[in-house]
């Protein structure tokens, strides 16, 4: 990057850190974006003069509230919850809710900021938001989770609505939690509206929403490989996580003729050299969603599989890497190991799973690298389709939704290429996604004037 840009980035980041102390994840997400956007903004003076970057890094609104609930033993428990409404320039706020003990304001601001760009990339009219709580659903009974969700919604319902802010799931918020949240919302406002996405099929959910993020990451990879005339057929893949995104990423890899080798959770990873098959995956999905077990049990169930306690899967040689668990789960050394072992492409199923050092390593080695805001946008894309179906009061078939999902992922890929392809033919998808996501939001902000 030329010196003028890097000193402008430094000055910008110093100001941002001063205004937002103690928020390392938010700083990291902004730095990744500003690094690639600064030269573009400096070349397009209307954005610079309107201070769009300063305005875009300040959330529209943050709501912080207490959530009290009673556990099964009659103890009173207190958690904290947030809704970060980041930017609604191009549509109502939209973004998931995360329930995990590591949730902080910093984490939700990073996620809401990323979501603004991601939603813009989908081509659908959705603004960016994120929310959640430091509540840990792990080890809680179904009734405890229900009481927590109901208590949370008593406050949250004032701030959301089908034309205002439409939350969805994320880590720790799956079908059970969305159902509890939607049931309570409906009871409080006495209206049946598409205020949440990821709903059950019986009450307004969309087919393929569950699968959409993982499937979308694989579709994005197909598009990246196709640029060099390559395909997924016969490729080995290392996948991290074993939740919603990871499991459906594995499913689409299997359907596409690739060979997924690993899955993980916070306890460690499993390595199946024979490859995870659909039959084994069905067992895993049941383990994770019904029995709420640990991925280590997979190694006990199937011969030839090893469990690596406390480790991440990036030491396993592969053609493709899909980090699908959580932020900062793939660092610079691990990126180097993957490349030494013959890596051909990376697609981020999770949000910000690669550290800044890892991203620089992938880009420096000209590895096709799909950043989360592009590669995992399939989830929110189908959430947008769920909203459309709710508004129209119709339900599309699985084939129709999947077709639209593939179209959305191709559209995102092509926008990244438009802004990210260099003279040597290498596409920097990070730059492409950041600029393409930015332009639409920034132009809307310019049109509104000083708001
Ligand atoms: P799930 O809760 O279904 O699964 C999360 C998985 O990641 C679990 O295997 C979990 O293991 C693991 N994990 C979570 N935190 C950590 C941690 N600190 N260290 C190691 N492993 C961890 O969540 P999703 O699959 O929905 O989300 C995964 C990622 O994808 C997140 O970054 C999310 O923001 C992103 N994403 C999700 C979308 C969706 O549609 N669901 C859409 C776009 C992005 P354990 O059980 O041990 O905690």
- Same domain for 216 and 186, yes or no, is no
Ligand 1 closest atom vs CA 213: 40
Nearest CA to ligand 1 atom 43: 376
Q: For the chain, what is the total number of helices (H) and then of strands (E)?
A: 17, 13
Q: H/E element holding 437? A: helix 429-448
State the total domains in the chain.
2
Cα 307 to ligand 1 centre (Å): 19
Who's near 409: CB < 8 A, 6+ residues apart?
216, 219, 220, 223, 377, 378, 381
Ligand 1 closest atom vs CA 102: 18
Q: Long-range contact list for 423-426, CB < 8 A, 24+ apart?
A: 426/366
- Same domain for 158 and 218, yes or no, is no
- Same domain for 353 and 222, yes or no, is yes
Q: 104: which DSSP letter?
A: -
Cα 418 to ligand 1 centre (Å): 30
pLDDT above 70 for 219: yes
Ligand 1 contacts CB of residue 405 (under 6 A): no
pLDDT above 90 for 6: no
Residues 407, 253: contact at Cβ < 8 Å? no
pLDDT above 60 for 244: yes
- Same domain for 249 and 350, yes or no, is yes
Domain ends where: 352, 367, 382? 367
Cα 349 to ligand 1 centre (Å): 9
Residue 214 is predicted with a pLDDT of 98
Ligand 1 contacts CB of residue 119 (under 6 A): no
Averaged over 430-440, what is the pLDDT? Answer: 98
5 pLDDT tier (thresholds 50, 70, 90):
confident
Ordered DSSP codes for 8-38: HHHHHHHHHHHHSTT-HHHHHHHHHHHHHHH
The single residue of 94, 109, 118, 130 carrying the catalytic annotation is 130
Ligand 1 closest atom vs CA 98: 34
Reported as a single tens digit per residue, the pLDDT across 268-316 is: 999 999 999 999 999 999 999 999 999 999 999 999 999 999 999 999 9
Task: Tell me the CB-side half-sphere exposure of residue 186, using CA atoms within 13 A.
Answer: 13
List residues bridging with 161 in a β-sheet.
165
Cα 241 to ligand 1 centre (Å): 6
Domain ends where: 318, 334, 367? 367
Q: 304: which DSSP letter?
A: T
Cα 137 to ligand 1 centre (Å): 13
Task: Assess whether 130 carries a catalytic annotation.
Answer: yes
Ligand 1 contacts CB of residue 323 (under 6 A): no
Q: Mean pLDDT across the chain, nearest whole number? A: 97
Residue 309 covered by a domain: yes
List, in sequence order, the alpha helices (H) in 231-310: 244-255, 278-289, 296-301
Residue 3 is predicted with a pLDDT of 57
- Same domain for 260 and 141, yes or no, is no
Residues 237, 320: contact at Cβ < 8 Å? yes
CATH of the domain at 126: 3.40.50.10860
Ligand 1 contacts CB of residue 374 (under 6 A): no
Q: What span, in angstroms and rounded, lies between the C-alpha atoms of 380 and 121?
A: 10
Averaged over 228-239, what is the pLDDT? Answer: 98
Burial class (CB in 10 A: 0-12, 13-18, 19+), 300: exposed
Ligand 1 contacts CB of residue 270 (under 6 A): no
Cα 135 to ligand 1 centre (Å): 15
Ligand 1 contacts CB of residue 296 (under 6 A): no
Q: What is the pTM of this model?
A: 0.96
List, in sequence order, the alpha helices (H) in 80-141: 105-121
Q: H/E element holding 230? A: none
- Same domain for 150 and 252, yes or no, is no
Reported as a single tens digit per residue, the pLDDT across 332-390 is: 999 999 999 999 999 999 999 999 999 999 999 999 999 999 999 999 999 999 999 99
Ligand 1 contacts CB of residue 241 (under 6 A): yes
> Please, what sign has the CA dihedral across residues 353, 269, 310, 242?
positive
Nearest CA to ligand 1 atom 21: 266
pLDDT above 60 for 225: yes
Supply the range of the domain harboring residue 337. Answer: 212-367
């Amino acid at each position: 990057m030329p010196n003028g840009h890097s000193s402008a980035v430094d000055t910008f980041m110093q100001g941002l850190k001063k205004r937002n102390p103690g928020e390392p994840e938010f700083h990291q997400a902004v730095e990744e974006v500003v690094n690639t956007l600064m030269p573009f903004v400096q070349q397009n003076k209307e954005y610079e003069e309107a201070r769009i970057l300063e305005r875009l890094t300040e959330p529209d609104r943050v709501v912080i509230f207490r959530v009290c609930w009673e556990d099964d033993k009659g103890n009173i428990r207190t958690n904290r919850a947030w809704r970060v409404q980041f930017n609604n320039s191009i549509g109502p706020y939209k973004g998931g809710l995360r329930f995990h003990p590591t949730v902080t304001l910093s984490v939700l601001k990073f996620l809401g900021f990323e979501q603004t760009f991601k939603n813009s990339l989908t081509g659908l009219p959705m603004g960016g938001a994120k929310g959640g709580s430091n509540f840990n659903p792990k080890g809680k009974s179904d009734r405890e989770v229900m009481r927590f969700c109901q208590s949370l919604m008593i406050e949250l319902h004032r701030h959301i609505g089908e034309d205002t802010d439409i939350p969805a799931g994320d880590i720790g918020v799956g079908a059970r939690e969305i159902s509890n949240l939607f049931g309570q919302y409906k009871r409080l406002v006495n209206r049946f509206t598409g205020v949440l996405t990821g709903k059950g099929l019986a009450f307004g959910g969309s087919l393929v929403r569950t699968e959409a993020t993982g499937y979308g990451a694989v579709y994005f990879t197909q598009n990246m490989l196709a640029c060099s005339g390559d395909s997924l057929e016969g490729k080995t893949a290392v996948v991290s996580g074993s939740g919603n995104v990871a499991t459906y990423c594995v499913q689409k890899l299997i359907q596409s003729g690739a060979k997924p080798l690993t899955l993980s959770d916070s306890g460690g990873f499993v390595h199946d050299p024979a490859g995870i098959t659909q039959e084994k995956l069905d067992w895993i999905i049941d383990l994770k969603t019904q029995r709420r077990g640990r991925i280590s049990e997979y190694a006990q169930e199937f011969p030839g599989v090893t469990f690596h306690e406390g480790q991440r899967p990036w030491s396993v040689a592969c053609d493709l890497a899909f980090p699908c668990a959580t932020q900062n789960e793939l660092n610079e050394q691990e990126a180097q190991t993957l490349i030494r072992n013959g890596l051909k492409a990376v697609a981020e199923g999770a949000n910000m799973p690669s550290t800044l050092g890892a991203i620089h390593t992938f880009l420096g080695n000209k590895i096709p690298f799909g950043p989360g805001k592009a590669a995992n946008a399939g989830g929110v894309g189908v959430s947008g389709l769920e909203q459309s179906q709710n508004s129209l009061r119709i339900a599309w078939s699985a084939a129709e939704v999947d077709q639209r999902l593939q179209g959305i992922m191709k559209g995102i890929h092509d926008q990244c290429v438009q802004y990210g392809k260099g003279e040597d033919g290498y596409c920097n998808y990070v730059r492409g996604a950041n600029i393409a996501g930015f332009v639409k939001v920034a132009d809307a902000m310019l049109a509104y004037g000083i708001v």
